[in-house]
Amino acid sequence: MKRSTLLFCVLMYYSFAGWAQKSPWTFQQCLDTALKRNISVNQSRLSNELNKISLEQSRANRIPSVSASVGESFNFGKNVDATTNSFVIGSFHSGNYGVSASYNLFNGLQNNNTIKQYKLNIEAGKFDIENAKNAVILSVTTGYLQILQQYEILKVAQNQLAADSVQVDRTQKMLNVGRAAESDLLQIQSQLATDYLSFVNAQNQLDIARVTLMQLMQIPVIDKFDVEVPTLVEPGLDLLQSKEVIYQKALALMPQIQSASLKTSSSLMAIKIATGARWPRLTFSAGMSSNYASSGRNPDVNADGYPWYTQVWNNVGQSMNLNLSIPIYSNRSIQSSIERATVNSKTAALNELNIQQTLRMNIEQSYTSLKSSSRSYEAGKIQLSSTEITYKNAEKKYNVGVMSVTDYLIQKNNYTNSVSNLIQAKYNFIFQSKILDFYQGKAISF
């Protein structure tokens, strides 16, 4: 008797010590941490930053480009003096200086269409970020509810250990006074060992659920991690809308749908960009240049000397060019680009359709699961009510010696199974309800 009581006390101490936590994490804290640290979310943000950079580049392509050049040469032997166009024998150095500008007047509207495409890509990227966040939200919700479920299962296991400990002590006393057989005590002790194993398994599952949530939050796994246990409101089906109504709401709200639609529009813009390569290109350019040669300062060449700044000023030249490029045959590269863009557009449209169908199937699955879990939950409550009454009646009979220990343990295990089944049905019901609320744009909270 003392050994079983001591065992129970030690188990209760360690179980509550494992639960002890000075600052449990709320659901919102878990979610905020996961969203901040999640690699997929941050990768989506960086990917959209690249789209923004590309947009700025495409806008800058509409501005004239300007460049400057400076060149210095050292000449030996017989060379042409660039300032006099005469041969010079000897060594001298020369310089060439220039500034040029170029402006694309027309290129088949490719610049404008590229700007429009990147604007669409940026908007799609924003929805991709939201979609990545949604995946994190659902994962954290699942992990958080799993911990709450394991808390309740562990509590049930603790209660069973407490009940077993009481029965071991009671049966031992009955054995001492000759009112119970030794086999009864052995069966009760065996049940205590079985329920202890269930307790250990429940504790292990709780530890695994904690680790899973910490990994979803992408924080180092620590032993003293706990979550706040909120008061859960039982969902209802009275205001449940039809699958089609929920689907239509989700089509307007879910970011993956918006992203896919924008990507389809972007692929259509890519066809216009590729087709623009068939048009002639009109380019305007202008430039100014000058040069200098040290041979111009040689008295044998120029008695008055020819200083650097005078040479540069006198040798200034300007130019203006208007260039029209007409594509005639490009080894099919333009046509191939158009065909690839067309195929990509069809692929994007199919991807959009696939995402819509996937969303519809997910909603149909969640809708059916919600109704099924609701029925299971209601049936579980009925079962628990029945088995609880039967178990309490059996306990009273066993305590007064009018029921065998075998029959008593059968009723006790039936009751324990009913409690566990109801817990699982309840959390499945809550999760499926949260999922459908999520598809309708309602924030998940506890």
225-248: per-residue pLDDT in tens?
999 988 887 777 655 678 899 999
Cβ proximity of 436 and 169 under 8 Å: no
C-beta of residue 302 within 8 angstroms of C-beta of residue 160? no
Q: Where are the domains of the chain?
A: 232-279+332-446
Name the more confident of 51 and 176: 51
**What pLDDT is recorded for position 16?**
42
- Could you tell me what percentage of the chain is helix, strand and coil, using 3-state DSSP and rounding each to the nearest 5? 70, 15, 20
pLDDT at 83: 60
Residue 310, pLDDT score? 79
pLDDT at 23: 82
Q: What is the mean pLDDT of residues 82-98?
A: 72
pLDDT at 9 over 50: no
Q: What does the pLDDT look like over 295-318, one tens digit per residue? A: 665 555 554 566 777 778 888 889
HSE value, Cβ hemisphere, 13 Å, CA-based, for 420: 17
Amino acid, single-letter form, for residue 178: G
Please identify, in words, the CATH class of the domain defined by 232-279+332-446. mainly alpha
pLDDT at position 311 is 79
Both tokens of residue 53?
């950079």
**Among 98-102, 185-189, 359-363, whose mean pLDDT is lowest?**
185-189
pLDDT band at 164 (very low <50, low <70, confident <90, very high): confident
* Residue closest to 134 by CA, chosen among 35, 16, 234: 35
Please check the confidence at residue 93 and state whether its pLDDT lies above 50. Answer: yes
The whole-number average pLDDT for the span 321-330 is 90
Query: CA 295 from chain center: how many Å?
Result: 69
Of the given ranges (18-32, 145-159, 393-407), which has the lowest mean pLDDT? 18-32
Q: How far is residue 186 from each of residues 44, 164, 183, measured CA to CA in Å?
A: 62, 12, 5
**Least-confidence region, from 172-181, 278-287, 314-323, 355-364:** 172-181
pLDDT class of 22 with cuts at 50, 70, 90: low
Burial of 174 per CB tally in 10 Å (0-12, 13-18, 19+): middle
Q: What is the mean pLDDT of residues 83-104?
A: 78
- Torsion sign, CA atoms 335, 336, 337, 343: positive
Question: How does the average pLDDT of the chain come out, rounded?
Answer: 86
pLDDT tens by residue, 105-160: 998 899 999 999 999 999 999 999 999 999 999 999 999 999 999 999 999 999 98
DSSP 227: B
- Alpha carbon distances (Å) from 373 to 143, 274, 365, 426: 19, 53, 12, 8
More confident call, 357 vs 402: 357
Rg (CA), the chain: 40
Mean pLDDT of all residues in 412-431: 92
**Cα angle at 444 between 443 and 446, to 5 degrees?**
130
Mean pLDDT of 316-323: 91
Q: What is the pLDDT of residue 85?
A: 63
Q: Are strands 92-106 and 78-81 parallel, antiparallel or unpaired?
A: unpaired
What mean pLDDT comes out for the span 368-388? 92
Whether 399 shows a pLDDT value over 90: the answer reads no
Per-residue confidence (pLDDT) for residue 41, from 0 to 100: 95
Q: What angle do CA 164, 18, 146 make, to 5 degrees?
A: 85
pLDDT band at 404 (very low <50, low <70, confident <90, very high): confident
**How buried is residue 266: exposed, middle or buried, by Cβ count under 10 Å (0-12/13-18/19+)?**
buried
- pLDDT, residue 415, reads 92
Please give the pLDDT value at position 2: 46
3-12, 206-215, 347-356 — which is least confidently predicted? 3-12
Q: Which residues pair with 281 in a beta bridge?
A: 325
d(CA 114, CA 107): 12
Instruction: Tell me the two tokens of residue 183.
Output: 């086999």
**Residue scoring higher pLDDT (183 or 88):** 183
Provide mean pLDDT across the span 395-415: 87
Q: What is the DSSP letter of 220?
A: -
- Enumerate long-range contacts of 273-277, CB under 8 Å, 24 or more apart: 273/110, 273/113, 273/114, 273/117, 273/341, 274/334, 274/337, 274/338, 274/340, 274/341, 275/108, 275/338, 276/107, 276/108, 276/109, 276/110, 276/113, 277/108, 277/110, 277/327, 277/330, 277/334, 277/337
